[in-house]
Each structure stands twice: as structure tokens, then as C-alpha cells.
Structure 1
Amino acid sequence: MATTNGLPVLKIAFEKAAAEVANRSKKGNVAIFVRDAASQGVHQLMSTAMIPSGLGSDNKAHVMTAFEGSDRGVPSLVYLVVIATGTEDTTALEAGLKSIEAFSIDYLAGPPDVTDDEMEVLAEWVKAQRAIYRPVKLVKPWKTAGSDDMGVIELDETGMMNAAGGVTAAEYCARMAGILAGIPMGMSATYAALPELTAVTDRTTEEQTTAINNGKLILIHDGLQAKIARAVNSLITIPENGKEDWSRIKIVEGMDLISYYLRTTIENEYLGRYPNTYDNKQILVTAISDYFRYLERAGVLSAGESYAEVDYERQLLWLTSQGVDTSGMTRKEVLEYQTGSWVFIRCGGRLVDAMEDFEVLFNNL
């Protein structure tokens, strides 16, 4: 007879009433793909000096764009995945994705000549990774239908130009991924400057607003320089327990970092290491609370609003499901009751957003 043990379960739920949030406490990591006959495999690059010498000149130039970041910061690390040439199928791309599953990646971009089939594979891989609380987000060109997913960022640009000529959205995704990974704590990528671009897609103000509301990442040019119009992902259908600001890249980055912190801390420091007692649950609660206090002091979480505690309601439901008579039990007795291998924690806080929308009134006295 089969058991119901399975693998240890780590459930981290983001709900409207108690969102678990944090913001970037470090600059992020990028993974980008190129096709080349030489230097195939995964390369961890700390700087442009580490770019494989065997790569073709176009690929070298492409990889360098991922390092540029913006005046707000640069990425910490670039994982370069060199796959075989040829776009007949997605085999090479799939093998490349498999080779980076063990790495911590914040933003991912496909090859500069990414195909429609490859974009589907990339999106599905990212969704699968995010389902197990790995914080990777895909930057891809927008197609005829948006992904409607907060883990997928879709660049909709057809009019980009630099000093050398036209730039496609697929070619620019590595650059954009590097920018997003380099944004530090407390900032967003909205209005991040793109000084190398001399032109972007021509849109009216109304068209810009419509594009952004439809989950498209677009660029604007103010006559002096190009910049990111509004740092949004492709999410336009808000989940039942979600919030509208889940469409903002900064907010999702915060949610990802807190889930990553909780998952890695629990897996590395607690899972399987301690008896499941109330005292040991409180050690975990304290660790989470301390991290939230740090984020409050850094101006990432709203001061005095974050919390972590043993989840009384979930523990009560679990005890009832196990046939335990809880009718005469006090709250303290429920919290301290032995719960097998299960640990139920609830935590939350309020993310402090970046300043992006302004209304200034001048009185001519």
C-alpha cells in the first residue's frame, strides 16, 4: 500500500490581505543565451573580461550588453549559455535550460534570434521554475498575444535605433535583463535611461498608456534620451487573491526575494534538522521576523507592519483533519500541539514602492 509521505512540502502563499514581501537586498543575476559553434556550455561571468575568446564578434558584443545595466546599478553575475547553431527545433535551447536549473537566476533572456517555438519553451520553463519558488523572470519580445504572467516581461519595440542602425526587441532583451537585474533596493526601472538608443517606437501618449495597460514593456524618448516608460510585466488578469501592483516588476521582484529567502532558509537551515517542537518553530519565526526588521530599517517594508508567527488557524485545521478533538483546547494548547512533520507559519508586511507618480501644485502668490 502506498504511503502519503511524498516530498517535504514548502508552501509560501502570497495573498492580498497578507502579502509576503521584500525588496532587492542584492543586485541580481542574469542568464542569457547565444548560438555559437565554439565555447558551448555554461559560463559564469563576473565581468566582460571573462567572455569566452572563442565566441564570434557579434556574440561577444551581445554578451557585453547584459553587463551594462543602468545608472542605477549593474548585475552581479551573468550566466552565459552558449548553445549549438541552428533553429530547426528547440533541442539545443532545452538542453541549455536544463544546464542552468541549479543556478540562482533573477532574469533570463533567450538568444538574439530566438524563434517563436523557443519563446514558448522559455516561458513554460520559467513558469515551472517559479512554481517551485525559484525567482527567475523571462524577458522576451512581445508577440501577437501577451503571456499575462508576472514572471514574463514582454518588450514591445519595433522602432529602436542606435548608432549602428536598427535594434530588434529580441536583440535588446539581454540588455533589458541586465538593467532589471542591476536595479538596487528601493528603486524601480521606470525611467531608467538607455543612452545608446537614438530612437524608439513612435507612439502617442494614448498609445503608450494603452500598451502599458496591456502588459507591454515599452520605451519612450523625451527628446534628450530614451528610457523605460514604466517597468511592468505582462500580467493583466489579476488573480482572485492578487493585487493590481503584481503587474509591476519592482513588486514582483520583492515578492520573489522574500519567497526565495524563506525557501532557502528553511531548506538549508531547518528542514530535517530539528525536532518539530513549538520552541523550534519559534526559532524559525524569529529568523523571519529579524529579516523583516532589516527590510523595514532599509525602507523596503513599511515600518511596524511586518509580522511572522505560528499560524493558529492552519494548525487548528490540521489538528481537526487528524481527528484531534480541539473543542476544549486553548489557543496556547493548539499552538503548542505536536503537528507531525508539518510547520505552519504565517507572515506578511507592506512593500514600500518607488516614487513614480507625482502631482505638484504651484501657487503663484
Structure 2
Amino acid sequence: MAIGLPSIDITFKKLAATLIQRSARGIVSLILKDDTDTTYAIKEYKSQLQIDATKFTAASVQYIKDVLRMGAAKVIVAPVATSSVAVVGDALQRIGSRKYNWIGLAEGTEDEQTDLVAYVKEQEKLGKSIKAVVFNAIDPDCQHIVNFVNPTITTTDGAVTGDKFIPRLLGLLAGLPLTRSSTFYSFADVISVEEPADVEAAVEAGKFVLFNDEEVVRVARGVNSLTTLSPTVSEDFKKILIVESMDLIREDIKNTFKNEYMGKFKNKYDYQVLLITSINSYFAALAGEDVLDNTFDNKAFVDIEAQRAAWVAIGKTEAEDWDDQTVLNNTFRSNVYLGGNIKITDAMEDFTFNVELQ
């Protein structure tokens, strides 16, 4: 049976080797209010040259270009009739089960931003890693939602309201690799922005803010909208870079288990050890790429207490007194209870330099 395990090792090696590249080639779903052509559900573009301008208004064409020129690998365009009373719901039906990483509306109303927030939160509860950029949403408080708040942005082409800048941010966040954060990213064509009254307070409140830094406009801090912390949700979860890394790692492990392991091996400790060894090799490779901290003991393991609790829950109370090895040897039905402890590397964003003069 173990003859199949090398395929898992190979899969994890390939995933680790391409993680940086994959992280920089995210897919965006862009919701547009546009009924220029109602003969199709969605359009997918990987290049600005592919855009069929006859299918959209001039404004919509520019929004699509904004996503692609910022670095996204692909944009899934979901046009919804301007008369729609359920813009987000209609768009999601059109998008269906297609895979994407980021989603947002161009020119979305407050209610539509709220609908998108609700959808992403639902997906988060289901273990999905879809992320959204919304405009000035009311207290989204979610690690998968980026809440952009600048009221106006002035570019070399003129001034636009914040909601119309969402496609640019979707393209930026989908296009950045895990080797850097969006903090202090500068926009070459942006002349100035209308800032919140207190930029630092806005960032602390989970708002994504652009600010005027002398003659350059920059991202103040690459944060999502998370503000509520807990013993299992730390300050790190506020960083877009950390959440993006965490999502990609989780997806790699989940998909590899589903495609290479599920149903193919008996659920016994020996095979669980082989799976864990493969995952730990993947972690080691990510540490070599600076995605994980190579000075930290990044590792996966059997979640002994979860497995023990499963036995106790069905009435096998003697499991409470089993030593750890006995728990490991007594796998529970078809369930594989694994845990992990990793340290994702953040970007350099804060600097203190104290100089003492003698």
C-alpha cells in the first residue's frame, strides 16, 4: 500500500517549489453593473488584449484593465444588469463554482458591499479562503475582507471615488507574491488621495488606507478588516500577507490529501506517519523559500487530544487514561486528526534605530 506515497512527496515538493509563483498569480472575480450585452454569463480574461470592448461600457473595460495591469493572472468578469436588486447574488450565480482568490465590486453601493461581506464571512465559516476588497463597509471585522476607505483618489487621468478604485486594489493584492507585503506599495500614476482624519487610527481599526507620503501615494499598511482577537486569533491575523500565506498552505495540504491520499490508504498510524513526514518535508521546503521561518520548528503531528476525545465521545471512557502512544495506535474510524505548528514570516514593516552619541 505504501507504494503510492511517493506521489504525495512529489506533489508537495512541486507545490512548495511553485508557491511563490502561484501566490503572485491570483485570480480575481470582478462584479460589474453592465448590461451592454446580455448573451453571456461571465467572461474570463488573462490579458488586456483579449478584452472585447463591444461587450462592455467604456468604464467597465477600464475596470477590467485595472485588474489585469496590476498583476492578476486572470479576471472573471460577472456583469449584472443595472436594474438588478440583488447585484452580489446575481453575480455569484453567474460565477458559480469557478475558482478565484479575490472578489470585489466596481461602483458598489453600501448595501452591496454589505452583501459581499456577508458572503465572504459565510465562505470563511465553510473553510474557504475567498478574500474580498470592499469599500467603506461597516465594521466587517474579518481576516478575509480588506476594507478600503479613501473617499477620493486623484490620478493622472483625474479624480475617482474610492469605490471605483477597488479593481486596482483587487489586481494589486492578487498580483503580489508572498515575498512582499502591500505595505508602502506606491502607485506611479496616483497624484494624491483624500486621507482619513487619522490614518494611524484608521489602520488600527482594520481599514486599508492610502496616504500622501511627500510626492508619493502609498499603502499605509497591508491590513485586513479583522479587529476582534482571541486566544487562537492573534495580531498576526490582521496582516494580508500572513492570511494569504496561511490560506495557500492550508489549500495545498487539503487538496493533496484529497487527491493523493483520501480513500487510498488504510487509516492506521503507520500511514499517518508517512503523510505527516510528507507534510513536514513541504514545511521544510517553504522555510527554504522564506515563506516559513527557518529558525522555527515547523511541523505537523497527530492531534492526540482530538483523537482521544473522539473515542471518549462514543463511550470509550478508558481512552481518558491511555498514554499518548496508545492513542496514536488507536486511530478513530476514517478520521485523521492532524495538527500543526508553523511560523509564517512577515515582511519588514516597522523600524527602530536608536543611536547613542558619546
TM-score by length of 2: 0.86
Aligned match for 1:192, one of 169, 185, 188: 185
Alpha-carbon deviation of 1:352? 0.9
Which of the two has greater helix per residue?
2
On the 8 A contact 1:233/1:249 being kept in 2, the answer is yes
SS at match of 1:272: coil
Which residue of structure 1 lines up, in the alignment, with residue 111 of structure 2?
A: 117
Aligned match for 2:102, one of 100, 104, 107: 107
On the 8 A contact 1:104/1:134 being kept in 2, the answer is no
In 2, the alpha carbon distance for the partners of 1:171 and 1:231 equals 19
**Between Structure 1 and Structure 2, how many residues are aligned?**
333
SS at match of 1:153: strand
| Residues 126/274 of structure 1: CA separation in 2 closer, same or farther (3 Å cut) | same
Instruction: Check if 1:338 corresponds to 2:331.
Output: yes
In 2, the alpha carbon distance for the partners of 1:201 and 1:327 equals 60
Deviations 1:164-197 (A, max 9, x none): 3221111111110110111112210001111121
Counterpart residue type for residue 53 of structure 1: A
Which residue of structure 2 lines up, in the alignment, with residue 64 of structure 1?
A: 65
Mind listing any 5+ residue stretches in structure 2 that lack a counterpart? 1-18
| Residues 159/118 of structure 1: CA separation in 2 closer, same or farther (3 Å cut) | closer
Mind listing any 5+ residue stretches in structure 1 that lack a counterpart? 1-22
Aligned match for 2:239, one of 245, 248, 252: 248
Which residue of structure 2 lines up, in the alignment, with residue 41 of structure 1?
A: 41
In 2, the alpha carbon distance for the partners of 1:203 and 1:132 equals 34
On the 8 A contact 1:186/1:300 being kept in 2, the answer is yes
In 1, the alpha carbon distance for the partners of 2:134 and 2:219 equals 15
Aligned match for 2:305, one of 298, 304, 313: 313
On the 8 A contact 1:108/1:138 being kept in 2, the answer is yes
Point out 4+ residue stretches in structure 1 off by more than 6 angstroms. Answer: none
In 1, the alpha carbon distance for the partners of 2:357 and 2:28 equals 49
TM-score by length of 1: 0.85
Counterpart residue type for residue 117 of structure 1: D
Alpha-carbon deviation of 1:327? 6.3
In 2, the alpha carbon distance for the partners of 1:197 and 1:63 equals 18
Counterpart residue type for residue 193 of structure 2: V
SS at match of 1:358: coil
Range 340-349 or range 353-362, more displaced:
353-362
Instruction: Check if 1:31 corresponds to 2:29.
Output: yes
Relative contact order, higher structure (CA 8 A, sep 6+):
1
Alpha-carbon deviation of 1:85? 2.3
SS at match of 1:41: coil
On the 8 A contact 1:24/1:253 being kept in 2, the answer is no
In 2, the alpha carbon distance for the partners of 1:351 and 1:66 equals 27
Which residue of structure 2 lines up, in the alignment, with residue 298 of structure 1?
A: 289
SS at match of 1:276: coil
Deviations 1:66-105 (A, max 9, x none): 1122xxxx22222121222225x11x43132133342332
Instruction: Check if 1:211 corresponds to 2:202.
Output: yes
Alpha-carbon deviation of 1:44? 2.2
Which residue of structure 2 lines up, in the alignment, with residue 128 of structure 1?
A: 122
In 2, the alpha carbon distance for the partners of 1:242 and 1:280 equals 31
SS at match of 1:102: coil
On the 8 A contact 1:68/1:178 being kept in 2, the answer is yes
Aligned match for 1:75, one of 47, 72, 77: 72
In 2, the alpha carbon distance for the partners of 1:288 and 1:75 equals 29
